[in-house]
Structure formats: structure tokens, C-alpha cells
Amino acid sequence: MGSTKRTLIKNGTIVTATDTYAADVWIEGETIAAITLQGMDLGTADVVIDAAGKFILPGGIDAHTHLDMPFGGTTSSDDFETGTLAAAHGGTTTIVDFAIQTKGQGMRQGLDAWHEKAEGKAAIDYGFHMIATDINDATVDEMKGIVASGVTSFKLFMAYPGVLYCDDGQIFRAMQKARDLGALICMHAENGIAIDVLVKQAVEAGHTAPKYHSLSRPQIAEAEGTHRAIALAEMAGAPVYIVHLSASRALEKVVEARDRGIPAYAETCPQYLFCSFDDLARDDFEGAKYVCTPPLRPKEMQDDLWRGLRTNDLQVVSTDHCPFCMKGQKELGRDNFTKIPNGMPGIETRLYLLWDGGVRAGRISMNRFVEITSAAPAKLFGLFGKKGTVAVGADADLLVWDGDKEHVLSEKTLHMRVDYSPFEGRVVRGAPTHVLSRGRVVIEDGRYLGKKGDGSFLRRGTFSM
């Protein structure tokens, strides 16, 4: 292999979505070259990492992030440099971010703008989904070129009328085209038209505190959107992926469709598993920290989401990382919840929370943890083989994971560029000692060893589940 750098991770236990076994991992340059019995001698290595007592996991894949995104009259506070750096600290080695088509413009312009935002900045590999806000003859035709350039999924919004919203006809047309192209439609499934009526009525009644964000977006609005998204996809003969599913009744719609064999998929997010309406109802405007859409739900719904994750009715946990600082951003809505920019930070804390509150708490197995955080998003979004597993020929995106390491989640020690943590003071166990991105150690014991621009754009494959 000439001068290619050789790395050996020895004495660890590999955990994939399907297997758990003791083995050594040999890396040549960026790629996993061999997986051997522990102690087998394949010659010398330039870098040796002793993973005794630790797990070797595929790096996390976060299929739902919003970096440097203009939204709610401001811009999400992490850009591609700070957001991907924070992701790497938390063990995520790939993100799929959302490029946005501006209404009245083509998709290509939106995609070019996102390439510009990311180029030379990312610490880890990244791909894009395309948010389509303006579906017409010309933009439907554009979808082919977008897919050919490696952007093989589109997000459509049933929410945010006048901003990101598409009507049912537009959605249906995009789904038909996605079916023909092998692309996946990701749906923000909430009835935004009815919600806008409730929001207006809430404000008129003087209900301006953050908790009214949830009270004006009832779960039935999400259930109806989810049902409609799946029905439209079924009519179009296309698969559909429901993003950031938060509510029990929305989950019921996914379960019903999947039981009929419909290719409906869904993700939830850590905020829906670990936070609730009670957080949104906190006093003194603290609830603003928890304003995201769909909104946080009553705590009782969390059990249903965990059950969905166990039974594969929910396939993925992504973050919907869309951070806004309290100062200067969330406070825009101090007197009116409708002006609070929607979104929460989470790109760094997803694996910590799911390991501690999922694996250690006995809710999911280690293999299921790998599946919902890495393997399944890789499969759904055309990355599997290179990403999402520990296998010969795969990119060496790997975590050496200490399943017992105790640490405290705090805005002061986390790396996301946001002035609060929704989980401030929460003690968790489980963290990576080493994070490798395509064979390079980018995090070692909490220190960042990489550099801005190490991450590359990923041209993703088409949908093949």
C-alpha cells in the first residue's frame, strides 16, 4: 500500500446494526482494509488505538440538520464550520443538511447556495436534501438534474403557509417525479393551513407565551398531515419519509400504512424522546428554548415513540438541529410566541442521549442504537456500504466508544454555537474517546485534531430499500 497511512484499532468490540463481536480493525488511508481476529499480525501500523473495554461503532449519521439556515427572520446559529465540528465531538461523522429553493427561483440556485455555504468549511462529510418550495413545470423538470448531482431526496412542507408550504397538488407532482427518479420525498407533515387559524386565534386571545406554540399545533394536525402524506405517496406509488415525527397519533398513521406494506418511513428526534410540553411551559420565557416544530408533546407520548423505535415503526433518530440563541434570536418572540424562531440545538448530543437514555436505560439494544443512528439513515439516503457500518471497503468513519464514560451536558462544555443547552446539567454515560472520519482521527479524548474543510460533499445514491 506504499505510503498510505495505516491505522489499527485493536482489542475492541465491534457493534454494527446486526453483529457484536471482538475484532481488530485495520485501516489503509480512508478505508477499512481488514477486520481480523484480535491479535492477528498484519504488520506494523502508523497509528495504533487501543480500544480494550470499548466498542467500535460506525460513525453517527444525522440525516436532518439545518446549518446556516435563514428562518424566522434570523439565521440558525451554527454554520457548516461550527455545526460539523460539534457533530464530530458528539460522534457524528456524516450529516445530510437541507438546501432550500427560494420561492420564485430554481432548485439549482438553492443547491448552489448551500454548496457555497459548506465548501471548505466542514469537519466531516456532508450531503444535501433539497427543500422544494415552488413546484411547477420547470422545477419538476429540474429534479432530474438535482438527483443526478447526488441530491437524491427532497423535503416538502405541509406547514408554514406562504413560506415553505406546498399544496397537495404540488406535493403529488413532486412525488410522482420522485418515483420516476428513484428519489425519496421527506415530508414535514402538519396541517399548516388549519394551524395558522389556531395561531391567529391564540394571539388574538392574548395567548402569547411559548407554550401556546404547542397548544396551537395539536397532534391531530400532525396525524392528519402524516395520513395525507402517506395517502398521496401511495397514490403516486412513491416511498415517503416522515421527518421529525413527534406525536402518538401521527405514529399510528405510519404503523397502519406499514402494516399494509406501504413504503412509509419515519424518524423522530431526541427532543421528542427526552423533552416534553412541560419544558415548553417553563416560566420566564425559558420555554422559548424548547420551541421547535412539530412542538413538544405531553410526556406520556414518549413511551409510544420508544416503542416505535423498538418495533421498527420508526426507523431513524435524527436531530433536526436548528439552533437559535436566546439572546437576539429566541427573544424576538418575548411578547409573541409566533416570533420565536422554531428550532432546537442537538447535533452534538444525539448519541449521548440515545446511548444513556436508550441503551443504558434498557429501551433499545446496542445494535438497534447503531441501526437508528447510522445504518438505517445510510440505507434510506443512499450511503450504505460506504457509511453506516463497520465492514471491509467501507469508509473508516468510526467511533471508539466508551459506554461508561460519565459527563455532564452543558452549554459551557458542548461545542454548538448556541447560548444554551436544552439538557443543561443532565448527567449521561457514554462518549467517544476517538472519532475517525475517513481514517483520520478528528477527535481524541475531547480534543479536535482535524481542520476545517476536511469534510467532503457526498453524492448519494438513489432510493433502494
Could you list the residues that contact ligand URP (CB under 6 A)? 66, 188, 244, 292-293, 320, 322, 342-343
Q: Which does 292 bind (CB under 5 to 8 A by kind): ligand URP, Zn ion, none?
A: ligand URP
Question: By the 8 A CB rule, do 51 and 10 touch?
Answer: yes
Q: Which residues pair with 96 in a beta bridge?
A: 127
Q: Using CB atoms, what's the residue nearest to ligand URP?
A: 342
Look up residue 351 and give its amino acid: L
The SS3 of residue 429 is strand
Least Å distance, CB 392 to Zn ion, is 35
Q: How many residues bind Zn ion (CB under 5 A)?
A: 2
Pick 293 or 329: Cβ nearer ligand URP: 293
* Phi, psi dihedrals of residue 270, rounded to the nearest 5°: -55, -35
Task: Copy the grid coordinates of residue 123.
Answer: 469537519
The amino acid sitting at 327 is: K
Q: Residue 170 Cβ, how far from ligand URP at the closest point, in Å?
A: 17
Cβ at position 442, least distance to ligand URP in Å: 27
Q: Using CB distances below 5 to 8 A depending on partner kind, what does residue 343 bind out of ligand URP, Zn ion, none? A: ligand URP
- 118 versus 245: smaller Cβ distance to ligand URP: 245
Residue 6 binds Zn ion, judged by CB under 5 A: no
Least distance between ligand URP and beta carbon 160 (Å): 7
Binding at 63: pick from ligand URP, Zn ion, none (beta carbon under 5-8 Å per type): none
Within residues 139-198, the interface with Zn ion by CB under 5 A covers 188
| Residue number, 308 or 323, with CB nearest to ligand URP | 323
**Contact indicator for 187, 241 with CB cutoff of 8 Å:** yes
Stretch that binds Zn ion, among 9-17, 79-87, 128-136, 319-327 (CB under 5 A): 319-327
**Closer CB to ligand URP, residue 164 or residue 435?**
164
Interatomic CA distance for residues 448 and 191, integer angstroms: 43
Q: Are 13 and 53 in contact (CB under 8 A)?
A: no
Distance CA 276, CA 308 (A): 17
Residue 168 phi/psi, 5-degree rounding, is -60, -35
CB of 244 to ligand URP, least distance (A): 6
CB closer to ligand URP out of 244 and 368: 244
**Alpha helices (H) in 98-191, listed in sequence order:** 107-118, 137-148, 168-181
Stretch that binds Zn ion, among 86-94, 103-111, 199-207, 312-320 (CB under 5 A): 312-320
Which of these, 130, 362, 382, 342, lies nearest to 244 by C-alpha position?
342
Classify residue 292 by burial, with Cβ atoms within 10 Å: 0-12, 13-18, 19+: buried
Which of positions 327-356 make contact with Zn ion (CB under 5 A)? Answer: none
Find the largest Cα–Cα distance for the chain: 74
Among residues 71 and 457, whose Cβ is nearest to ligand URP?
71
Q: Which residues pair with 265 in a beta bridge?
A: 241
Residue 342: contacted member of Zn ion, ligand URP, none (CB under 5 to 8 Å, by partner type) = ligand URP
Task: Tell me the C-alpha distance between 269 and 292, whole Å.
Answer: 11
Comparison of 17 and 63: residue with beta carbon closer to ligand URP: 63
Query: Residue 197: CB partners within 8 Å, gap ≥ 6?
Result: none
24 binds, among Zn ion, ligand URP, none (CB under 5 to 8 A by kind): none
CB 62 → Zn ion: shortest distance, Å? 11
By CB under 5 A, residue 397 contacts Zn ion:
no
Amino acid at 97: D
Rounded distance between C-alpha atoms, residue 380 and residue 240, angstroms? 10
* CB of residue 243 to Zn ion, shortest distance in Å: 5
Q: Rounded to the nearest whole angstrom, what is the least distance from the CB of residue 98 to ligand URP in the complex? A: 7
| CB 343, min distance to Zn ion, A | 7
Shortest distance in whole angstroms from residue 64 CB to ligand URP: 7
90 interacts with, out of Zn ion, ligand URP, none, CB within 5 to 8 A per kind: none
Choice between 32 and 187, CB closer to ligand URP: 187
32, 91, 92, 386, 460 from 87: Cα distances, Å = 22, 6, 5, 19, 20
Q: Is 320 a binder of Zn ion (CB under 5 A)?
A: yes
Per-residue DSSP letters for 262-296? --EEEEE-HHHHH--HHHHT-TTTGGGGG--SSPP
